[in-house]
């Protein structure tokens, strides 16, 4: 299975692919340090020693050079709002009382101009209220932490607020539910623009799962989720090793020494999803890796990933990724030297 080492050998050290090069995090008084740190960790570190992209990254203040954090210590921020005009991605971390306060109009105007010129804006947790104040949630789906969802919906009735997902990517506006979901959303953007291998490489350095699928009752898709039962863990491991096999709930339940109904209920409790959807997610992830890192035909990828044929794989691949296997390969296939 192709991994980061394959990708690293194909490209010059530190090469950037995709349209994600220039990243800015815009902060306000009362910013939450951890949520700001999430953005800094994903986009602000030089990992070129492992062949990973180096982003042009800056932290930008919307309220003066000296800010206070929610944790009680101060920040000195050198970059000003004009730095946002050149960013491919603008991230808005969470902050204190963002669900109650007003925001500087110049910052809101800058966010609107960014979306109009094709840049992406990203909110982490309560940073979504900033995007709402800018009018960027109107007519869009958005994710919100379950604690904020009702208030956000009341404050911005034209937004389609979803409180049961990790993040939402809707027409250049990406919103994430909470602190850990901010990591998911950042890695999603890396994966979307620069491919699975780059996202996996950054995740490996951060020691976090490279991809999670599910709602806010989260489960880890790869690596395998920790289960409360050794029996269920064993079944998950077996499923991942046999993605090319057609299996039924009855067969899996037999392996777990449970009735089908008990097994299905236990599986949902411990992974946050159904056996069928878990298996589909793993197959799509494997198909992505094969499309990126090998020259095998799409038909062969479909068979090796457990879809059986290219038509079935295309159906599920489009539903999960928003693009076709052929288009995905054209975008992310590492060039042959």
Tell me the β-bridge partners of 168: 175
Which tens digits make up the pLDDT trace of 26-68? 999 999 999 999 999 999 999 999 999 999 999 999 999 999 9
pLDDT computed for residue 212 by the predictor: 64
In the chain, domain spans: 4-205, 223-337
Q: Is the dihedral of CA 230, 233, 238, 239 positive or negative?
A: positive
pLDDT computed for residue 241 by the predictor: 87
For residues 191 and 318, give the distance between their C-alpha atoms in angstroms, rounded to a whole number. 15
pLDDT computed for residue 8 by the predictor: 36
Which tens digits make up the pLDDT trace of 81-113? 999 999 999 999 999 989 888 999 999 999 999
Tokens of 183: 């990591």
pLDDT computed for residue 235 by the predictor: 87
- Tell the CATH topology of 4-205: Rossmann fold (3.40.50)
pLDDT computed for residue 147 by the predictor: 87
- Tell the CATH topology of 223-337: Arc Repressor Mutant, subunit A (1.10.10)
Please tell me whether residue 22 adopts helix, strand or coil conformation.
strand
Tell me how many helices (H) and strands (E) the chain has. Answer: 14, 12
Please tell me whether residue 99 adopts helix, strand or coil conformation.
coil
Which residues of the chain have a pLDDT value below 50? 1-17, 214-228, 336-337
For residues 23 and 175, give the distance between their C-alpha atoms in angstroms, rounded to a whole number. 16
Q: What is the pTM of this model?
A: 0.65
Structural contact between residues 68 and 36, judged by C-beta atoms closer than 8 angstroms: no
């Amino acid at each position: 299975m192709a991994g980061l080492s394959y990708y690293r050998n194909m490209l010059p050290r530190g090469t950037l692919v995709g349209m994600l090069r220039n990243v800015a995090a815009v902060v306000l008084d009362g910013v939450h340090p951890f949520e700001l740190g999430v953005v800094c960790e994903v986009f602000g570190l030089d990992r070129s020693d492992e062949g990973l992209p180096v982003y042009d990254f800056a932290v930008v203040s919307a309220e003066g050079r000296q800010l206070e954090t929610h944790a009680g210590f101060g920040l000195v921020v050198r970059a000003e709002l004009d730095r946002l005009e050149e960013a491919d991605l603008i991230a808005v971390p969470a902050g204190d009382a963002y669900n109650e306060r007003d925001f500087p109009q110049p910052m809101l105007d800058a966010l609107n101009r960014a979306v109009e010129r094709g840049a992406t804006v990203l909110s982490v947790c309560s940073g979504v209220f900033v995007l709402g104040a800018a009018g960027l949630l109107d007519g869009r789906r958005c994710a919100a932490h379950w604690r904020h969802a009702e208030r956000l919906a009341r404050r911005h009735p034209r937004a389609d607020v979803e409180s049961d997902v990790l993040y939402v990517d809707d027409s250049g506006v990406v919103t994430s539910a909470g602190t850990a979901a901010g990591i998911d959303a950042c890695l999603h953007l890396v994966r979307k623009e620069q491919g699975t291998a780059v996202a996996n490489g950054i995740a490996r350095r951060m020691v976090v799962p490279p991809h999670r699928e599910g709602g806010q009752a989260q489960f880890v898709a790869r690596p395998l989720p920790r289960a409360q039962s050794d029996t269920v863990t064993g079944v998950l491991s077996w499923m991942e090793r046999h993605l090319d096999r057609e299996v039924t709930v009855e067969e899996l339940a037999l392996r777990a020494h449970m009735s089908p109904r008990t097994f299905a209920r236990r599986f949902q409790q411990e992974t946050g999803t159904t056996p069928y959807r878990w298996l589909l997610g793993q197959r799509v992830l494997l198909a992505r890796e094969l499309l990126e890192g090998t020259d095998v035909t799409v038909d062969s990828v479909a068979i090796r990933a457990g879809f059986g044929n290219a038509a079935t794989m295309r159906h599920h691949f489009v539903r999960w990724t928003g693009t076709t296997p052929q288009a995905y390969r054209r975008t992310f296939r590492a060039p042959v030297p």
